[in-house]
Structure formats: C-alpha cells, structure tokens
Structure 1
Amino acid sequence: MAREFSVSVRTVKRDLAALERSGTPIWSRPGPGGGYGLAVGSSLPPVTLSSAQAVALLAAVAANPDAPYNDLARAGVAKILDVVDPRTRARAEELAARVWVDAPVSASRAVRSALEEALADQRVVRVRYTTAAGQTTTRDIEPVLFASREGRWFLIGWCRLREAMRWFALERVERATVLAEERSGHTVQEVGEPPRTSHPVSGVRSTR
C-alpha cells in the first residue's frame, strides 16, 4: 500500500488508525495475499457527485502535479469515481476528455513524497538544495508549511544551516531524506502573513 501511493509505511499506519478512530470498521490480514479492507456488511455514506464536479476534481489534480499530496489526491479522486453511479461516471469521462491541461512536473516524485512525509509527521528533513545563484548545499530543515506562489511550490521551514526561516523551491531540491528526529516548535506565525493573493486551503468554504 505504501509503495502504491508513494508514501511511508508510517503514514499508512497513521491514516488507518485515524479511520479506525472515526468508527470505520476495518479488517486486516497479515502475510501474502493479506491487506486491509472494509468489514463485510458495513458501508460508508453514499457519494453524490455530478459529472461536472467529478471533472472539476480531475482538472484540479491534473493541473497541479507539484501540489502537496497530489498522488494521494489522484488516488482519492479515483476512489470517488469508483463509487459514483455508472451513468455519472460515463458522463464525467466524456467531459474530462474535453478538458486539456499542460502542467509539467518540476519536482521528482521521491522528493515530493519525502517532503510531504516530513511535514505530516513533523520530522526534520535533510535536503540537497541548489539556490538560484547555483550554490548547492546539504541542509537540515524543520518543515512548517507548503506554499504556492506564482505557479511554483515551496517548502517553508527553519533552515538549520542559515538559522532562519527560508523558502525552498521544490524544483531546486535534488534529494530529500526524512530523519527520525522530530522538529522543534517553529510555527506558522514565524513565517508571517501569507501574500495577499494566498490563503490556507482550510479557508476554502462550500458555495452551497
């Protein structure tokens, strides 16, 4: 499962534990042919989604390949489409064929996965980073947040090399390794206010 979604085993275990705490009846079977699944006879609330809403999700994910947790978002959208009614899914597939995107990936999948894991698990991450001036260094970073600015994604965190909060462009990170060490107490407030054109994704509200 960790390999399929390009995340760590720790992340999979954490998410499964969260599902169990929410009351979702999950079974597990060890060994070859084993895995995790939803208990027989149980069900989740039905998903009601229009074909246009489904395509909106597909377009958002496809147009932002460098966005944090994009691989998980793709998997989530695929799962949603698996449970919508066949007629809606067919309409969504037909409409999606008429929505084109051109969004090349600038950061490697391995780098993105490591940075995502470090932020989610609050761990220090060691990166090989090249600045705009061409200087390459190895740094230990305490990740605080991801930010998008002018079409580029950044990891913002406390740089132990510079002893200051820094913005790191994802496409300039050559390698990233999550360390066992937990990050200290650096907060979003230390980063300052987001740019006027930016806002936390938690600020998105339903338009219904």
Structure 2
Amino acid sequence: MKLTAPLTAAEIAALALSMAHLGSGPQANAARSGLRHAFEQMELDDDVVATTLATLTEPMSAPIADRARTIANAITSNLVIRLHYQDVSGRVTVRDVDPVTCMVHREYWYLVGMCRMRGAIRAFRFDRIIATEPTFVPARPHRAEAFLPFQGKRAA
C-alpha cells in the first residue's frame, strides 16, 4: 500500500467548508466520516478533536449556511468579502477581508482572513457575521498554512 502524507490543516478546512452546506443526507454523512478519518491521522488534543468533530457533524443553520456559501465563493474566486460583524461586545463593524480559509475549532466555525480595517490577520466567528457581501475586488494572496493552528503536529 502506498503511504501518503496526512491532509494539511488548510486542506481539512477547505473540505469542512465544502461539506458544511451538504445537509444530513448520505453523501454528507460519508463526507463527514472521511473528515473524521483525516482528523484521526493528526496528533491533536482529544477534547478539541471531539468537540470540533461534533461541530462538523451538525449541519449549519440556513442563515449561517447562506453566509458560508458567500464566504466559500469569495475564497474560491480570490475576491475580497465585505462582512457586517458583531464583536463580543455587541459592536457592529463593516470590514473588507481578504479571505484566506475557514476552520472549525471546538464548537465554532471561523473565517480566517486579512482584515483590511485592522491591517492584520483575524478570525471571524460565523455566528457573529451578521451579513456578507461579495465584491469584485481582487484579494491579496495569503498562504492558509501560515494562519491555521495545528500545523506541524502531524502523526508520526
């Protein structure tokens, strides 16, 4: 049998976002099973993995799934996305973001991107994104691997 390298965190993030709006049919279940297998190949904290996998196995609510599709399209098209974002204090800001990738950590989905308002990489929780607007502005390239956790902790 040919041995292959485990998936990178960036690849797992892309797969997870792609299956986020599959719903709960047989294909979604098979895809989530495959993602569970990919996680098992990485050396990660068991509690984090268990909570993260639980998040991945639950379909997103319809409003969040709609925003996730807009985010996924922006990532695929390499275009800036405009977010209406409510922070933990309840303040709402409108931010243009160069989307890099999405990830799930514990019970939350995040968009990871370069926030043009802050001039720095930020993680935006999906449940705090109030609205998304596609733009036609090209995003600057950023490597997902530089911004994702768990890099370098691969199974031996």
Between Structure 1 and Structure 2, how many residues are aligned? 112
CA–CA distance in 1 between the matches of 2:139 and 2:26?
A: 29
Higher RCO, Cα 8 Å, sep 6+: 2
Q: Deviations over 1:11-35 (max 9, x none)?
A: xxxxxxxxxxxxxxxxxxxxxxxxx
For 2:138, the equivalent position in structure 1 comes to 182
User: CA offset at residue 75 of structure 1?
Assistant: 7.5
Q: Please, which of 64, 79, 84 is the counterpart of residue 123 of structure 1? A: 79
- 5 Å-filtered alignment, 1:26-45, equals none
1:145 aligns with 2:94: no
Percent identity between matched residues is 25
Q: Which amino acid aligns with 2:126?
A: L
User: CA offset at residue 132 of structure 1?
Assistant: 1.0
| Inter-CA distance 72–182: structure 2 relative to 1 (3 Å threshold) | farther
User: CA offset at residue 111 of structure 1?
Assistant: 0.8
Q: Which amino acid aligns with 1:105?
A: M
For 1:71, the equivalent position in structure 2 comes to 21
CA–CA distance in 1 between the matches of 2:118 and 2:99?
A: 14
Q: Which amino acid aligns with 2:129?
A: V
User: CA offset at residue 167 of structure 1?
Assistant: 0.4
| TM-score of the superposed pair, with normalisation by structure 1 | 0.46
Q: Which amino acid aligns with 1:77?
A: Q
**Could you say which structure has the larger radius of gyration?**
1
Q: Which amino acid aligns with 1:194?
A: P
CA–CA distance in 2 between the matches of 1:75 and 1:126?
A: 31
Q: Deviations over 1:46-96 (max 9, x none)?
A: xxxxxxxxxxxxxxxxxxxxx512235768828x9xxxxxxxxxxxxxxxx
Structure 1 unaligned runs (5+)? 1-66, 81-101, 204-208
RMSD (Å) for aligned C-alpha atoms: 3.3
Structure 2 unaligned runs (5+)? 1-15, 31-56
1:194 aligns with 2:149: yes
| Inter-CA distance 166–111: structure 2 relative to 1 (3 Å threshold) | same
CA–CA distance in 2 between the matches of 1:127 and 1:159?
A: 10
| TM-score of the superposed pair, with normalisation by structure 2 | 0.59
1:171 aligns with 2:121: no
- 5 Å-filtered alignment, 1:48-59, equals none
For 1:92, the equivalent position in structure 2 comes to none
For 1:114, the equivalent position in structure 2 comes to 70
User: CA offset at residue 154 of structure 1?
Assistant: 0.3
